[in-house]
Amino acid sequence: IHPDATIFHAQTKLCELVDVKTGHTHTISEIQDEPVYAFCGVGNPGAFFVNLSKWGFKVAGTATYPDHHVYTKREFAMMVLALKRPEGSRGVNFVLTTEKDAQNLPLQEYEGEIPILACVIRSEILEAEAFEAIVMERLKLTKVNV
């Protein structure tokens, strides 16, 4: 749109994992060697699943829902039922989702044995100093006298 615009690059960074039921935080290294199931209702679910693999998680299965999906009690119950471990089976040890999706779960219904963890994700601008300098310069140019 603007041929003279400066282009900045960003990357997605996983900061921590938070148990959606207890609030307990897990380090990434605690979970990376464990089989996980992942689900989300975001605009680009494929990016979330690719990032999980890129961050070293062993994703054993995934499910996608529409963006901004509010999970019904029935959907949630069916998901939990699907995660039940058959007797003598290892199954998955954790369920991963986004912070946004964690807000839309009927958690009062969940008494499962498998922790559901929300991925605390942040975007980082790779050229942060240059970005900040341009923003500060633009703010100076648009300074309004009150």
Tell me: pLDDT of 144 over 80. Answer: no
Question: What's the half-sphere exposure (Cβ side, CA atoms, 13 Å) at 87?
Answer: 0
pTM for this prediction = 0.80
pLDDT of residue 131: 93
Element holding 77 (H helix, E strand)? helix 73-83
Q: In the structure, what pLDDT confidence band is assigned to residue 88 with cuts at 50, 70 and 90?
A: very low
- Per-residue model confidence as pLDDT tens digits over 25-78: 999 999 988 889 999 999 999 999 999 999 999 998 899 999 999 988 888 877
Above pLDDT 70, what percent of the chain?
92
From CA 74, how far away is CA 67, in angstroms rounded?
A: 18
| Sheet containing 10-19: order of strands | 25-26, 10-19, 116-125, 94-98, 35-40, 58-64
Distance (Å, rounded) from C-alpha 52 to C-alpha 82?
A: 21
Question: Is a pLDDT exceeding 90 seen at residue 2?
Answer: no
pLDDT at 145: 54
- Between 84 and 135, the higher pLDDT residue: 135
Nearest residue to 97 via CA among 75, 67, 69, 119: 119
Looking at residue 24, its pLDDT comes to 94
d(CA 95, CA 58): 11
Q: Beta strands 94-98 and 35-40: pairing type?
A: parallel
